[in-house]
Amino acid sequence: MSGNNPEPILIRAASKSNGITSIVIGCAGLVFAALWFVLLPDWLFLAGILITSAALVTLLVGYFKIREPEFSLEMTTEVITYRHRLGSWRIHWENLQRADCPRVRQGLEHVGLETVGFKLKDYTEFLTSISPRLATHLLMEQRPLLLHNTNEGCATGSCYEESMFDDNHFTLNNGTVLTGVKAMLANRMAELRKRLGYDVFIATSDIDRTPEEFAALISQCQAARRTNKVQ
Protein backbone atom coordinates (compact mmCIF):
# COMPACT_ATOMS: atom_id res chain seq x y z
CA MET A 1 0.00 0.00 0.00
CA SER A 2 2.93 2.35 0.39
CA GLY A 3 5.24 3.51 -2.35
CA ASN A 4 7.67 0.73 -1.46
CA ASN A 5 4.94 -1.92 -1.28
CA PRO A 6 2.45 -1.61 -4.17
CA GLU A 7 1.23 -5.17 -3.72
CA PRO A 8 -2.45 -5.44 -2.70
CA ILE A 9 -3.36 -6.46 0.84
CA LEU A 10 -5.53 -9.58 0.82
CA ILE A 11 -7.79 -10.41 3.77
CA ARG A 12 -9.16 -13.92 4.22
CA ALA A 13 -12.48 -14.33 6.04
CA ALA A 14 -12.27 -16.14 9.36
CA SER A 15 -15.56 -17.87 8.52
CA LYS A 16 -13.93 -19.57 5.52
CA SER A 17 -11.40 -21.49 7.60
CA ASN A 18 -11.72 -25.27 8.02
CA GLY A 19 -14.13 -25.65 5.09
CA ILE A 20 -12.41 -28.75 3.69
CA THR A 21 -12.05 -30.17 7.19
CA SER A 22 -15.79 -29.79 7.79
CA ILE A 23 -16.58 -31.62 4.55
CA VAL A 24 -14.22 -34.47 5.42
CA ILE A 25 -15.73 -34.78 8.91
CA GLY A 26 -19.23 -34.70 7.44
CA CYS A 27 -18.44 -37.44 4.93
CA ALA A 28 -16.81 -39.56 7.63
CA GLY A 29 -19.90 -39.05 9.80
CA LEU A 30 -22.18 -40.28 7.02
CA VAL A 31 -20.03 -43.39 6.54
CA PHE A 32 -20.09 -44.00 10.28
CA ALA A 33 -23.88 -43.56 10.35
CA ALA A 34 -24.29 -46.06 7.50
CA LEU A 35 -22.23 -48.65 9.39
CA TRP A 36 -24.25 -47.84 12.53
CA PHE A 37 -27.52 -48.74 10.79
CA VAL A 38 -26.11 -51.93 9.29
CA LEU A 39 -24.22 -53.34 12.27
CA LEU A 40 -26.11 -52.23 15.37
CA PRO A 41 -29.54 -53.36 16.64
CA ASP A 42 -32.78 -51.58 15.78
CA TRP A 43 -33.22 -50.05 19.22
CA LEU A 44 -30.24 -47.78 18.43
CA PHE A 45 -31.95 -46.51 15.25
CA LEU A 46 -32.76 -43.08 16.75
CA ALA A 47 -29.13 -42.51 17.71
CA GLY A 48 -28.18 -43.30 14.12
CA ILE A 49 -30.61 -40.65 12.89
CA LEU A 50 -28.99 -38.07 15.19
CA ILE A 51 -25.51 -38.99 13.91
CA THR A 52 -26.72 -38.69 10.32
CA SER A 53 -28.27 -35.28 10.99
CA ALA A 54 -25.09 -33.99 12.61
CA ALA A 55 -23.01 -35.26 9.69
CA LEU A 56 -25.30 -33.56 7.15
CA VAL A 57 -25.15 -30.26 9.03
CA THR A 58 -21.34 -30.45 9.16
CA LEU A 59 -21.25 -31.23 5.45
CA LEU A 60 -23.46 -28.23 4.63
CA VAL A 61 -21.36 -25.91 6.79
CA GLY A 62 -18.22 -27.01 4.95
CA TYR A 63 -19.93 -26.59 1.58
CA PHE A 64 -20.98 -23.02 2.31
CA LYS A 65 -17.50 -22.21 3.60
CA ILE A 66 -15.74 -23.32 0.42
CA ARG A 67 -18.29 -21.48 -1.75
CA GLU A 68 -17.05 -18.14 -0.45
CA PRO A 69 -14.28 -16.33 -2.37
CA GLU A 70 -10.69 -17.13 -1.40
CA PHE A 71 -10.25 -13.59 -0.04
CA SER A 72 -13.07 -11.47 1.34
CA LEU A 73 -11.22 -8.16 1.01
CA GLU A 74 -8.61 -6.79 -1.36
CA MET A 75 -7.02 -3.40 -0.67
CA THR A 76 -5.00 -1.78 -3.45
CA THR A 77 -3.54 1.71 -3.61
CA GLU A 78 -6.81 2.95 -5.13
CA VAL A 79 -9.73 0.94 -3.81
CA ILE A 80 -11.04 -1.41 -1.11
CA THR A 81 -13.00 -4.30 -2.65
CA TYR A 82 -15.23 -6.64 -0.65
CA ARG A 83 -16.10 -9.99 -2.24
CA HIS A 84 -18.94 -12.33 -1.34
CA ARG A 85 -20.50 -15.26 -3.18
CA LEU A 86 -23.51 -12.98 -3.86
CA GLY A 87 -21.47 -10.13 -5.34
CA SER A 88 -19.06 -7.39 -4.34
CA TRP A 89 -18.79 -3.74 -3.38
CA ARG A 90 -15.95 -1.25 -3.56
CA ILE A 91 -14.90 1.92 -1.80
CA HIS A 92 -12.21 4.17 -3.26
CA TRP A 93 -9.84 5.56 -0.66
CA GLU A 94 -10.75 9.08 -1.75
CA ASN A 95 -14.36 8.36 -0.80
CA LEU A 96 -13.54 6.94 2.65
CA GLN A 97 -13.85 9.52 5.42
CA ARG A 98 -12.86 7.17 8.23
CA ALA A 99 -13.09 3.61 9.51
CA ASP A 100 -13.24 2.48 13.12
CA CYS A 101 -15.01 0.19 15.57
CA PRO A 102 -18.47 1.56 16.45
CA ARG A 103 -19.35 1.81 20.12
CA VAL A 104 -22.80 1.74 21.73
CA ARG A 105 -24.25 2.71 25.08
CA GLN A 106 -24.85 -0.01 27.65
CA GLY A 107 -25.99 1.64 30.83
CA LEU A 108 -23.35 4.18 31.79
CA GLU A 109 -20.65 2.63 29.61
CA HIS A 110 -19.80 2.52 25.92
CA VAL A 111 -18.81 -0.88 24.52
CA GLY A 112 -17.45 -1.81 21.11
CA LEU A 113 -19.37 -3.92 18.60
CA GLU A 114 -17.79 -6.92 16.87
CA THR A 115 -17.68 -5.08 13.56
CA VAL A 116 -15.77 -2.39 11.66
CA GLY A 117 -17.65 0.61 10.30
CA PHE A 118 -16.83 2.72 7.24
CA LYS A 119 -18.07 6.29 6.93
CA LEU A 120 -18.33 7.40 3.31
CA LYS A 121 -18.17 10.86 1.82
CA ASP A 122 -20.64 9.94 -0.92
CA TYR A 123 -22.95 6.95 -1.44
CA THR A 124 -23.01 7.01 -5.26
CA GLU A 125 -20.13 4.70 -6.15
CA PHE A 126 -20.89 2.20 -3.40
CA LEU A 127 -24.57 1.83 -4.29
CA THR A 128 -24.02 1.71 -8.05
CA SER A 129 -21.30 -0.95 -7.73
CA ILE A 130 -23.11 -3.34 -5.37
CA SER A 131 -25.24 -6.17 -6.77
CA PRO A 132 -28.92 -6.38 -5.75
CA ARG A 133 -28.35 -9.86 -4.28
CA LEU A 134 -25.54 -8.62 -2.03
CA ALA A 135 -27.59 -5.55 -1.10
CA THR A 136 -30.39 -7.86 0.05
CA HIS A 137 -27.92 -9.94 2.04
CA LEU A 138 -26.55 -6.83 3.79
CA LEU A 139 -30.06 -5.69 4.67
CA MET A 140 -30.69 -9.02 6.37
CA GLU A 141 -27.26 -9.38 7.97
CA GLN A 142 -27.14 -5.90 9.46
CA ARG A 143 -30.66 -5.78 10.92
CA PRO A 144 -29.37 -6.36 14.49
CA LEU A 145 -27.37 -3.12 14.25
CA LEU A 146 -30.65 -1.20 14.22
CA LEU A 147 -31.28 -2.29 17.80
CA HIS A 148 -28.36 -0.20 19.07
CA ASN A 149 -28.63 3.46 20.12
CA THR A 150 -32.35 3.49 19.35
CA ASN A 151 -34.58 6.52 19.80
CA GLU A 152 -35.44 6.51 23.48
CA GLY A 153 -38.61 8.48 22.72
CA CYS A 154 -40.00 5.68 20.58
CA ALA A 155 -41.97 3.82 23.22
CA THR A 156 -44.09 1.75 20.79
CA GLY A 157 -41.13 0.19 18.96
CA SER A 158 -42.56 1.28 15.59
CA CYS A 159 -39.42 3.36 14.90
CA TYR A 160 -37.44 0.14 14.61
CA GLU A 161 -39.95 -1.33 12.15
CA GLU A 162 -39.99 1.81 10.01
CA SER A 163 -36.20 1.96 9.72
CA MET A 164 -35.97 -1.76 8.93
CA PHE A 165 -38.45 -1.61 6.03
CA ASP A 166 -37.79 1.91 4.71
CA ASP A 167 -38.32 1.49 0.94
CA ASN A 168 -38.76 5.17 0.06
CA HIS A 169 -36.96 6.42 -3.00
CA PHE A 170 -33.41 7.64 -2.38
CA THR A 171 -31.74 10.36 -4.45
CA LEU A 172 -27.95 10.23 -4.83
CA ASN A 173 -25.77 13.33 -5.01
CA ASN A 174 -25.50 12.98 -8.80
CA GLY A 175 -29.29 13.08 -9.15
CA THR A 176 -29.85 9.35 -9.67
CA VAL A 177 -33.03 8.15 -7.99
CA LEU A 178 -32.78 4.68 -6.45
CA THR A 179 -35.75 2.39 -5.99
CA GLY A 180 -36.26 -1.13 -4.70
CA VAL A 181 -33.62 -2.95 -2.70
CA LYS A 182 -30.88 -0.40 -3.37
CA ALA A 183 -33.11 2.40 -2.06
CA MET A 184 -33.76 0.30 1.04
CA LEU A 185 -30.02 -0.17 1.51
CA ALA A 186 -29.35 3.55 1.05
CA ASN A 187 -31.99 4.44 3.65
CA ARG A 188 -30.57 1.78 5.98
CA MET A 189 -27.07 3.27 5.59
CA ALA A 190 -28.38 6.74 6.42
CA GLU A 191 -30.20 5.40 9.47
CA LEU A 192 -27.16 3.51 10.73
CA ARG A 193 -25.05 6.64 10.32
CA LYS A 194 -27.46 8.45 12.64
CA ARG A 195 -27.28 5.68 15.23
CA LEU A 196 -23.71 4.41 14.99
CA GLY A 197 -21.83 7.01 12.94
CA TYR A 198 -20.99 4.72 10.00
CA ASP A 199 -22.58 3.67 6.72
CA VAL A 200 -21.04 0.29 5.81
CA PHE A 201 -20.07 -2.49 8.19
CA ILE A 202 -17.80 -5.53 8.00
CA ALA A 203 -18.37 -8.33 10.50
CA THR A 204 -15.50 -10.00 12.32
CA SER A 205 -16.30 -13.23 10.46
CA ASP A 206 -15.22 -11.50 7.23
CA ILE A 207 -11.73 -10.55 8.44
CA ASP A 208 -8.70 -12.42 9.75
CA ARG A 209 -7.94 -10.22 12.77
CA THR A 210 -9.70 -8.28 15.51
CA PRO A 211 -11.86 -5.28 14.56
CA GLU A 212 -9.40 -2.97 16.30
CA GLU A 213 -6.46 -4.40 14.35
CA PHE A 214 -8.33 -4.12 11.07
CA ALA A 215 -9.38 -0.53 11.77
CA ALA A 216 -5.74 0.28 12.60
CA LEU A 217 -4.67 -1.26 9.26
CA ILE A 218 -7.14 0.98 7.41
CA SER A 219 -5.78 4.02 9.25
CA GLN A 220 -2.20 3.05 8.35
CA CYS A 221 -3.16 2.73 4.68
CA GLN A 222 -4.83 6.15 4.72
CA ALA A 223 -1.77 7.69 6.39
CA ALA A 224 0.51 6.07 3.79
CA ARG A 225 -1.58 7.51 0.96
CA ARG A 226 -1.42 11.01 2.47
CA THR A 227 2.36 10.68 2.87
CA ASN A 228 2.78 9.59 -0.76
CA LYS A 229 0.73 12.56 -1.95
CA VAL A 230 2.91 14.99 -0.02
CA GLN A 231 6.02 13.44 -1.54
Domain assignment present for residue 1? The answer is no
As a whole-number percent, the residues of the chain with pLDDT over 90 amount to 33
Greater confidence, 106 or 57?
Answer: 57
The reported pLDDT for the residue numbered 174 is 86
Do 125 and 43 share a domain, yes or no? no
The boundaries of the domain holding residue 172 are: 73-230
Do 46 and 136 share a domain, yes or no? no
* pLDDT band with cut points at 50, 70 and 90 for residue 159: low
Domain assignment present for residue 8? The answer is no
Do 225 and 173 share a domain, yes or no? yes
pTM of the model: 0.76
For residue 90, pLDDT beyond 90: yes
Do 132 and 212 share a domain, yes or no? yes
Helix or strand holding residue 227 (H, E): helix 211-230
Domain assignment present for residue 5? The answer is no
Domain-ending residue, one of 67, 94, 109: 67
Do 192 and 166 share a domain, yes or no? yes
Domain assignment present for residue 39? The answer is yes
Do 88 and 160 share a domain, yes or no? yes
C-beta of residue 95 within 8 angstroms of C-beta of residue 122 = yes
The reported pLDDT for the residue numbered 119 is 95
C-beta of residue 123 within 8 angstroms of C-beta of residue 173 = yes
Do 46 and 87 share a domain, yes or no? no
Do 109 and 151 share a domain, yes or no? yes
Give tens-digit pLDDT for 18-39: 777 778 888 898 898 888 888 8
Rounded to an integer, what distance in angstroms lies between the CA atom of residue 104 and that of residue 126?
Answer: 25
Domain count across the chain = 2
Do 48 and 124 share a domain, yes or no? no
Give tens-digit pLDDT for 180-211: 899 999 999 999 999 999 999 998 888 988 99
Nearest to 95 by CA among 130, 73, 122, 127: 122
Domain assignment present for residue 4? The answer is no
The reported pLDDT for the residue numbered 171 is 86
Do 226 and 116 share a domain, yes or no? yes
Domain-ending residue, one of 40, 67, 94: 67
The reported pLDDT for the residue numbered 41 is 85
Q: Are strands 177-178 and 87-92 parallel, antiparallel or unpaired?
A: unpaired
As a whole-number percent, the residues of the chain with pLDDT over 70 amount to 86
Domain assignment present for residue 9? The answer is no
The reported pLDDT for the residue numbered 150 is 59
What's the average model confidence in pLDDT over 209-226? 89
For residue 176, pLDDT beyond 90: no
Domain-ending residue, one of 30, 48, 67: 67
Do 86 and 200 share a domain, yes or no? yes
For residue 105, pLDDT beyond 70: yes
Do 112 and 39 share a domain, yes or no? no
The reported pLDDT for the residue numbered 218 is 93
